[in-house]
Amino acid sequence: MKKLTIAIDGPAGAGKSTIAKKVAEALNYVYLDTGAMYRAVTLMFLQSKKTFSPELVTKLAEEAKISFQREPGLNRVFLNGEEVTEAIRSLDVTHEVSAVSAVKGVREAMVKAQRELGKDGGVVLDGRDIGTVVFPLADVKIFLTASVEERARRRFLELKAKGMAVRQEDLAKDIALRDKLDSEREIAPLKCAENAHYLDSSQMDIPTVVKTILKLCKEA
Ligand code: C5P
């Protein structure tokens, strides 16, 4: 059977990574979390303790050696040989990542790496610009979204289960801000690709979304 390239784009907290992982597992494909790559560059920038400049973050993006190691239920992320799986999810990284990912040189370096990693097909990529920029000819394109309230509610339950004290209203504000920054940036803004399937998961559970996408893959 042909090895497909499957692009799953959408706003923050829409469940893209959970869904993309399950779709990849079901098809025995590789899963590529492109958001983790922008997060890794952001972590590198924060660790540098230098003042933000497009030149600096571009240089870091070009130097970054990002790799993934898949384990059942866990997608481990490595940056320049060190594991950063947890560190890239910190609030500091989350707050800075949209500024870093808006820089042209950063995007160029990441897109080049993503195209290389996905060039053989048999891959599920999730992000913001996969169907529009990285793989515009992807076999299946999904735009996965949900209301801000629902996304904040899910993130709240997730963090609460990890024992973190957060307020759902704050999460909703963070999510709405990140959506705004990612959608309004000049280069590769978050938007639904012309021929993408638009899935609003506000009222759908995970197995239903996975099933819907697998059906689209079969048809492709
Ligand atoms: O998917 P995640 O929320 O981890 O992505 C973190 C950030 O990385 C996004 O808010 C966005 O700024 C950036 N990103 C991007 N393009 C992608 C994936 C993520 O600009 N393909």
pLDDT interval class at 55 (50, 70, 90): very high
The Cα–Cα gap between 60 and 11 comes to 25
The CA distances from residue 157 to 13, 148, 152, 161, 163, in Å, are 12, 14, 9, 6, 10
Pairing of strands 82-83, 74-79: antiparallel
96-149 confidence digits (pLDDT tens): 999 999 999 999 999 999 999 999 999 999 999 999 999 999 999 999 999 999
Which pLDDT score, from 0 to 100, does residue 174 have? Answer: 94
Task: Name which residue sits closest to atom 2 of ligand 1, judged by CA.
Answer: 35
Topology of the domain covering 1-29+121-215: Rossmann fold (3.40.50)
pLDDT interval class at 18 (50, 70, 90): very high
- List CB contacts of 175: < 8 A, sequence separation 6 or more: 11, 12, 13, 148, 151, 152, 155
Mean pLDDT of the residues in the chain: 96
Separation of CA 184 and ligand 1 centre (Å): 13
Average pLDDT, integer, range 52-69: 97
Q: Which CATH superfamily is domain 34-120 in?
A: P-loop containing nucleotide triphosphate hydrolases (3.40.50.300)
Per-residue b/e over 149-165, b at no fewer than 16 CB within 10 Å? ebbbbbbbeeeeeeeee
Which pLDDT score, from 0 to 100, does residue 74 have? Answer: 85
Q: Is the pLDDT of residue 1 over 80?
A: no
Q: Is the pLDDT of residue 31 over 90?
A: yes
Best of 107, 182, 185 to mutate for ligand 1, by most ligand atoms within 8 A of CB?
182
Same fold, 1-29+121-215 and 34-120: yes
Separation of CA 161 and ligand 1 centre (Å): 24
**Tokens standing for residue 161:** 């289960």
- In sequence order, the β-bridge partners of residue 67 are 78
144-203 confidence digits (pLDDT tens): 999 999 999 999 998 899 898 899 999 999 999 999 999 999 999 999 999 999 999 999
Say how many residues make up the chain.
220
Angle between helices 34-48 and 54-63 (to 10 degrees): 120
DSSP count for the chain of H helices, then E strands? 8, 8
Task: Name which residue sits closest to atom 7 of ligand 1, judged by CA.
Answer: 35
pLDDT interval class at 73 (50, 70, 90): confident
Residues with C-beta less than 6 Å from any ligand 1 atom: 12, 34-35, 38-39, 97-98, 101, 127-130, 178, 182
The Cα–Cα gap between 185 and 190 comes to 8
Which pLDDT score, from 0 to 100, does residue 2 have? Answer: 86
Which pLDDT score, from 0 to 100, does residue 19 have? Answer: 97
Task: Name which residue sits closest to atom 19 of ligand 1, judged by CA.
Answer: 35
- List CB contacts of 17: < 8 A, sequence separation 6 or more: 33, 35, 75, 126
Separation of CA 90 and ligand 1 centre (Å): 14
Cβ atoms of 18 and 205 within 8 Å: the answer is no
The Cα–Cα gap between 153 and 172 comes to 8
Parse the chain into domains and list their residue ranges: 1-29+121-215, 34-120
